[in-house]
Structure 1
Amino acid sequence: MTTIGTGDARVDATSLGLVGRRGDAIVDSAPVASGPSWAQRYRVLLIITDVAVVLGAVGLGLFVSLPAPRTAAVPPAASAAAAIGLVAVWLAMLAVLHSRDIRALGIGATEYKRVVNATLLAFGAAAILCAIAIVPAVRSFLLVSLPVGTVALVAGRWLWRKWLGARATEGHFLSRAIVVGGADDVRYVIEQIAETGGPLFSVEGVALDPEPDGSTRGTMMVGGRLIPVIGDLDDAAVAAARIGADAVIVAGQPARGGAYIRSLAWSLEPCGAELVLSSRLADVAGPRIHLRPVQGLPLIHVETPRFEGGKHVLKRTFDIVASGLGLIAISGLLAVIAIAVRLDGPGPVLFRQRRIGRNGETFEMLKFRSMVPDAEERLAELTAHDEGNGVLFKIKDDPRITRVGRFLRHHSLDELPQLWNVLRGEMSLVGPRPPLPAEVAAYTSDVHRRLFTKPGLTGLWQVSGRSDLTWEESVRLDLYYVENWSLTGDLMLIWRTLKVVLRPSGAY
């Protein structure tokens, strides 16, 4: 039996962008293979890729053969044995940590975390070996095979995810599912599956709690599509066996409670369909949810978000290193942009604006100037043309934007000077959107939680539509990030930001 939280499905799958939207797949398409079948085939592809990557990375480490310290000579056989042992341990860790578990494939950051953790554990063993016995090849493994193998494994999983998402869009590689429960809960679950595409389910029908008069409807309209109603809750197991369903999703709490869920689980055993429990636990990511069975009572623990501690020290360290190296790497580009801004018209190269940071502290945010010098004075005459989300002023064709500024905004290049804000500790590479003082003054008590972490150069808001988002959507994304951020998620968002810069959406 599996438990899923549909409340956070939209952010995990669509904002971080790991599986494409599936459009019609929910009702109209028939999966090419059943869940267990396609999952097995997909895992075989992953195993082949993992083996090839591990052998290649370890082989490269042997080939490079970094100079060894001056010690007694070590026979080549020892290096070969170390290579074979590392390959075996590495592949074993990938299996032991369930990096190819179907529940982690295609969505969220869990799959990537397991791959990285398995790699670090394998090379931790190699480091211990290096400390105990001086084997020259082990040094090459640590300095060459570790970074190359980690990047290659993650890249391989990402490419297979893209392939899996494309197949899902075409209606292939989907698990047949039946959703059961009250009409409202069933509709909510189906809408989330349709919108995110993450769980890779094809909903073949629904079983509903009977209407007050004891009847059930023949079809249910969801998102403009008709989904057949197979009957009431008692018909779910029979229908699952008849259509060969891979999963039966229980939406919310059925009217008949836990006794029905237990009975349904028993009824599904002969046909092998998996029982999946859905919850409306909104905007809470998987790592914060822990299931703890106590005397047959499954308790769901929701971990309290932490805004201090080692995780945040690691985040700050990453910010310092990445922003420092980034400023050095793009210094030439920064100089070219600065010259272009200067030649485009009068006014300073940099635009400085007061923003609110963590815990309400103010700081001066830097951007390349993209508007005419008197932009602030001309704001009043454009208020009637506001196309923003009701809180932020936005106009798609703002006449105050310069020619160079329009290009910079379209590709988010005007934000690059904020790497200096990151290096100074006023911002982070990833975080909520840095708000203006006027915005913060209008915050309700809940929205103030956006200030619990440093604002980011990029974040969920930037890779999810930016100015096209409503105020409520922007707030929800920012709060979700504050509550559920992780360093792995940050890396995924940075990667998605690079793609958004090349294919801009909602930037004006």
Structure 2
Amino acid sequence: MTQGNHVVINLRDTGSATRNVETDVRVESTSPAAREPSLPDAGLRSPRHWRVVARLVDLSAVGAVGFGVLGSGQSAVQTLQIVGVAVAVALLRLGVGRRQSVSLGKARTVETMELAAVSLEVGLALLLVQATLLPPLHLTRVAVFSVVLVFGLAIGRALTRVVARRLPEHWTSPQRVVLVGDDEEATWLYRLMSEYPELALTVVGRVGHPLDIHPGLRGLPWLGTLHHIRRITQSAGATSIVIAGGGLGPDALGTALRELQSERVDINVSAGLGGLDPSAIKLSTLGVGSMVRVRTRHARTWQAAVKRSVDIVGSAVVLALASPLIALAAVGIRAGGDGPVLFRQSRIGQDGRSFTLLKFRTMVCDAEQRKATLAQQNERTGPLFKIAHDPRVTRLGRFLRASSIDELPQLVNVLRGEMSLVGPRPALPEEAAAFEGRLVDRNRVLPGLTGLWQVEARDNPSFFSYEMLDLYYVDNWSLRLDFVIMVTTVPVVMHRGVRSLVDVAKRAVGRTPRTHASAERTAAA
């Protein structure tokens, strides 16, 4: 399994549930103890019913795409047969109500990879079955169906996340996690659970040495030693155990796992391979021992050529299709007052070369000069700078930013070869100057219009997520990963755009009563 994009091996999957919503990890206590604590009794809650809803949304997407793409030119009975087979195959592949393959959290891109595999399998099944049971289907139409289905499933999952965040409490049950470990790997796991936006976890505390621990774990309460893991799990009402396996010897780890096998908990052992693509890892054996086999990757010249070809063709096509939208945005910015339509800014590209990035202007003309006065309001960590309600952003600019329309001029940067459609966020010179250690490796690739950080953690203020996701992309780049990121970008942008329109409507409605009330007070005076 994966926790975010980190490799975690799930050893048992019994009775507990997950909630794939965007909240922060919670810690029940902030004062570590140096003795065996007494924990309150707590039990497991009811299963999370929203998984069934998620599966029904998936199957609805399969049906809708099937009717829309495969039903053309077919009779009603034939269309029902085709869609019925597609839904049946998806039902077998996804499983209604079946637990997701990731127990603690799943990155959107990892999820999209799985959905792409489901779409391909459904398309292949239609081609295989049509020879005997279905009316003839053209290969091109089935291919289009599979591609559209990936987007349909991804959008459906995005909608499910939005609904899940608004479910009443009795529909959900929080994950109570016990972290086992004292070292840097355990700290990395704790930070991942704390800062990754796709997790919703309550960290009950840690198990291990009471005093000899990594500094990053000192804010977690100590629950006891590994010898008491079973009693601690029961007393804490834990639903999941996360073990930093690299810091435990085989005897200690084996003893702990045997103790926990009879408990109704998810047991997740970190493989110590943070930042490695989970698809490159397979479980294997050496005699009677368990091993993790890592498949090596070698980037080929033809893949880079294909990426560049996709950049050129894709950016040219999007520029052509979006030209009316680009014209409307330019007119709107010009009508909003004096100042240029485009904002030009120096950014750092591949191999540390600087280039001029193009964007639609979304701020007031003196925004750069006013930045220093807003430093105290910065909501980001590290060298990044961002304010959620930046006073420099114009009214139109808020919508352009939320819908990512402001970034359409960057397609010109892509055509010039200064950027790619997919890649790390182009850094400012002052940001790049503050990068240390391995983060400098992000300059090995072209910056992108969209990227892993943009779709996974754009609203996460943590610099840890920024660093982790950028390095993950650099270390594991592939054409498949680029494709998945582009597919995942669609529902993310749609959600942000709709949310922006809703916010604008709420502000407009909210202003109306205040305006009337003000008028009444004026008249009364």
TM-score (norm 2): 0.67
In the alignment, does 2:250 pair up with 1:250? no
Mapped to 2, the partners of 1:159 and 1:372 lie a distance apart of 34
In the alignment, does 2:89 pair up with 1:89? yes
In the alignment, does 2:229 pair up with 1:233? no
Mapped to 2, the partners of 1:83 and 1:119 lie a distance apart of 13
Query: Which residue in 1 is equivalent to 2:421?
Result: 429
Query: Which residue in 2 is equivalent to 1:120?
Result: 120
Q: Contact between 1:7 and 1:281, CA under 8 Å: does it hold in 2? A: yes
Gaps of 5+ in 2: 9-18, 30-38, 501-525
In the alignment, does 2:29 pair up with 1:20? no
What is the CA distance between 1:117 and its match in structure 2?
A: 1.2
Residues 202-245 of structure 1: per-residue CA shift (max 9 Å, x gap)? 44454323558xxx9xxx9737xxx462x321111233345654
Query: Which residue in 2 is equivalent to 1:483?
Result: 475
Mapped to 2, the partners of 1:163 and 1:313 lie a distance apart of 41
Q: 1:150 to 1:477 in 2, by over 3 A?
A: closer
Residues 59-98 of structure 1: per-residue CA shift (max 9 Å, x gap)? 556753259xxxxxxxx987766555444334334459x9
- Of 357-366 and 113-122, deviating more is 357-366
Mapped to 2, the partners of 1:235 and 1:249 lie a distance apart of 15
Q: 1:182 to 1:371 in 2, by over 3 A?
A: closer
Query: Which residue in 1 is equivalent to 2:492?
Result: 496
Query: Which residue in 2 is equivalent to 1:332?
Result: 324
Taking only the aligned residue pairs, the percentage that are identical comes to: 28
Q: 1:279 to 1:330 in 2, by over 3 A?
A: same
Count of aligned positions: 467
Query: Which residue in 2 is equivalent to 1:196?
Result: 196
Query: Which residue in 2 is equivalent to 1:65?
Result: 73
Query: Which residue in 1 is equivalent to 2:135?
Result: 135
Query: Which residue in 2 is equivalent to 1:38?
Result: 47
**Residue type matched to 1:178 in 2?**
V
**Residue type matched to 1:38 in 2?**
P
Mapped to 2, the partners of 1:156 and 1:110 lie a distance apart of 15
**Matched position secondary structure for 2:101:** coil
Q: Contact between 1:183 and 1:209, CA under 8 Å: does it hold in 2? A: no
**Matched position secondary structure for 1:271:** coil
Q: 1:286 to 1:489 in 2, by over 3 A?
A: farther
Mapped to 2, the partners of 1:3 and 1:138 lie a distance apart of 37
Q: 1:308 to 1:352 in 2, by over 3 A?
A: farther
Q: 1:122 to 1:263 in 2, by over 3 A?
A: same
**Residue type matched to 1:238 in 2?**
R
Greater relative CO, 1 or 2 (CA 8 Å, sep 6+): 2
What is the CA distance between 1:460 and its match in structure 2?
A: 5.1
Q: Contact between 2:25 and 2:201, CA under 8 Å: does it hold in 1? A: no
Query: Which residue in 2 is equivalent to 1:262?
Result: 254
**Residue type matched to 1:193 in 2?**
M
What is the CA distance between 1:122 and its match in structure 2?
A: 2.1
Q: Contact between 1:99 and 1:114, CA under 8 Å: does it hold in 2? A: no
What is the CA distance between 1:20 and its match in structure 2?
A: 1.1
Query: Which residue in 1 is equivalent to 2:445?
Result: 453
**Matched position secondary structure for 1:248:** strand
What is the CA distance between 1:100 and its match in structure 2?
A: 3.8
Q: Contact between 2:362 and 2:401, CA under 8 Å: does it hold in 1? A: no
Q: 1:421 to 1:86 in 2, by over 3 A?
A: same
TM alignment of 1:311-390, pairs within 5 A:
312=304, 315-316=307-308, 318-341=310-333, 349-352=341-344, 355-360=347-352, 363-368=355-360, 387=375
**Matched position secondary structure for 1:222:** coil
**Matched position secondary structure for 1:270:** coil
Mapped to 2, the partners of 1:179 and 1:393 lie a distance apart of 32
Query: Which residue in 2 is equivalent to 1:181?
Result: 181
Mapped to 2, the partners of 1:345 and 1:113 lie a distance apart of 45
Q: Contact between 1:6 and 1:280, CA under 8 Å: does it hold in 2? A: no
Q: Contact between 1:177 and 1:246, CA under 8 Å: does it hold in 2? A: yes
Query: Which residue in 2 is equivalent to 1:222?
Result: 219
What is the CA distance between 1:192 and its match in structure 2?
A: 3.5
**Matched position secondary structure for 2:229:** helix
Q: 1:369 to 1:49 in 2, by over 3 A?
A: closer
Q: Contact between 2:123 and 2:145, CA under 8 Å: does it hold in 1? A: no
Query: Which residue in 2 is equivalent to 1:172?
Result: 172
Mapped to 1, the partners of 2:411 and 2:442 lie a distance apart of 20
Residues 402-424 of structure 1: per-residue CA shift (max 9 Å, x gap)? 96896688656543211222244
Q: 1:129 to 1:397 in 2, by over 3 A?
A: closer
Q: Contact between 2:3 and 2:106, CA under 8 Å: does it hold in 1? A: no
Q: Contact between 1:178 and 1:247, CA under 8 Å: does it hold in 2? A: yes
What is the CA distance between 1:119 and its match in structure 2?
A: 1.9
Mapped to 1, the partners of 2:270 and 2:54 lie a distance apart of 28
**Cα-Cα RMSD:** 5.2
Mapped to 2, the partners of 1:198 and 1:247 lie a distance apart of 16
Mapped to 2, the partners of 1:154 and 1:344 lie a distance apart of 36
Q: Contact between 2:283 and 2:292, CA under 8 Å: does it hold in 1? A: yes
TM alignment of 1:437-476, pairs within 5 A:
446-459=438-451, 464=457
**Matched position secondary structure for 1:135:** coil
Mapped to 1, the partners of 2:335 and 2:54 lie a distance apart of 52
**Matched position secondary structure for 1:365:** strand
Q: Contact between 2:27 and 2:202, CA under 8 Å: does it hold in 1? A: yes
Q: 1:148 to 1:500 in 2, by over 3 A?
A: closer
Mapped to 1, the partners of 2:206 and 2:108 lie a distance apart of 26
TM alignment of 1:72-111, pairs within 5 A:
84-95=84-95, 100-103=100-103, 107-111=107-111
Q: 1:237 to 1:149 in 2, by over 3 A?
A: same
- Of 23-32 and 348-357, deviating more is 23-32
What is the CA distance between 1:121 and its match in structure 2?
A: 1.9
**Matched position secondary structure for 1:64:** coil
- Of 281-290 and 119-128, deviating more is 281-290
Q: Contact between 1:340 and 1:404, CA under 8 Å: does it hold in 2? A: no
Q: 1:204 to 1:320 in 2, by over 3 A?
A: same
Q: Contact between 2:195 and 2:460, CA under 8 Å: does it hold in 1? A: no
Q: Contact between 1:5 and 1:281, CA under 8 Å: does it hold in 2? A: no
Q: 1:484 to 1:56 in 2, by over 3 A?
A: same
Mapped to 2, the partners of 1:395 and 1:175 lie a distance apart of 31
Gaps of 5+ in 1: 10-16, 68-75
**Matched position secondary structure for 2:424:** coil
What is the CA distance between 1:432 and its match in structure 2?
A: 1.9
Mapped to 2, the partners of 1:320 and 1:30 lie a distance apart of 61
Q: 1:444 to 1:105 in 2, by over 3 A?
A: closer
Mapped to 2, the partners of 1:477 and 1:179 lie a distance apart of 23
Query: Which residue in 2 is equivalent to 1:12?
Result: none
TM-score (norm 1): 0.69
